[in-house]
Amino acid sequence: MKLEGKVALITGAGSGLGREASLLFASEGAKIAVVDIDPERAKGTVELVEKQGGSAVAVTADVRVERQVIDAVAATVAAFGKLDIAWANAGIVSRGGVPSVAGGEQVEFQDLTDADWQDVIGVNLSGVFYTAKAAVPALRANGGGAILATSSAASFVAYHSIAAYSATKAGVNGMVRGLSLDLGKYGIRVNAIAPTHGMSPNFLAPAGAPVVGRSYEEVAGPWDPEVSPIPLKLNRPPSLTDNARAALFLVSDESAYISGVTLPTTDGGTLSRVAMMFPEDGNHPPPMVTGEE
């Protein structure tokens, strides 16, 4: 088992990638502190972990509040005696970032309020800062460990209507690089994953919505790789598990000398594209401009 004897704290673990990773990490031998702002979702994840024979505790915390994150780490150590892995996974999309096709509100950038800005920064950036900061004393006491953050493909490329979200995720990448330099002397590795595909519809759903447990692509209907815009053509859609496995690698001893890295996951070559159309894509590129009459 890749995480035998390890203790992992995962924020945002009540649904989506956090829940999937809790189950995967537990199956690899880890004890899990399931941290979520929704106590019922956290309990649901714990029940699933225990059902498969693992060990977990539910911890309610709002990652925007430093004191609550500190208490979550303390509760983890109280329950399991130590901390080996801290994953700052909790995240929200900025207002107006839910596509209108999914029932989202259309919000122009200039109409975002300060409260909108502070909300997305609070969860996506301050939440990572507080989680890492709170984890360091426990990790140092344990002789080192791993800090992981959930970034996004939006930290590398632009998506419509989520400039605030993109800014926070780019900030996560910078924090990961800086912390890898500052914390390496303690034997603490700091990395991030940056999913493109294979994430949960719960990310775009309102708080309290039923936990889906599958990726956007899995719930979209029958999978046709030839229709998918992902360059890599496989006979199945990207899943939450694909992202969770990348996270597992980065927190396990298999990546013992990797630190300061933001790893794009489940992108299938999407981020390698240029803004051009090619016949091979099945599209019809515009006529070439030659300058001749």
What region does 260 belong to: left with phi over 0, alpha with psi -120 to 50, or beta? left
Please give the Cα distance from 240 to 200 (Å, whole number): 7
99: left (phi over 0), alpha (psi -120 to 50) or beta: beta
The residues that bridge with 148 in the sheet, in sequence order, are 87, 191
Residue by residue, DSSP assigns 199-226 as --GGGTSPTTPPP--S-HHHHSSS--TT
Using CA atoms, how far apart are residues 286 and 277, in angstroms rounded to an integer? Answer: 8
Distance, in Å, from the CA atom of 109 to the CA atom of 112, rounded to the nearest integer, reads 6
Q: Which of 145, 248, 234 is nearest to 193 (CA)?
A: 248
The yes-or-no answer on residue 165 being catalytic is yes
Q: Spot the catalytic one: 130, 159, 165, 216.
A: 165
Torsion of CA 239, 88, 254, 196, to 10 degrees: 30
Q: Outline where DSSP puts E strands in 156-249.
A: 188-195
| HSE of 50, CA atoms in CB hemisphere, 13 A | 11
CA distance 243 to 19: 12
- Quote the CA–CA distance of 136 and 186 in Å, as a whole number: 9
* Alpha helices for the chain (secondary structure H): 16-27, 39-51, 66-80, 114-121, 127-141, 163-183, 216-219, 240-251
Return the active site residues.
Answer: 165
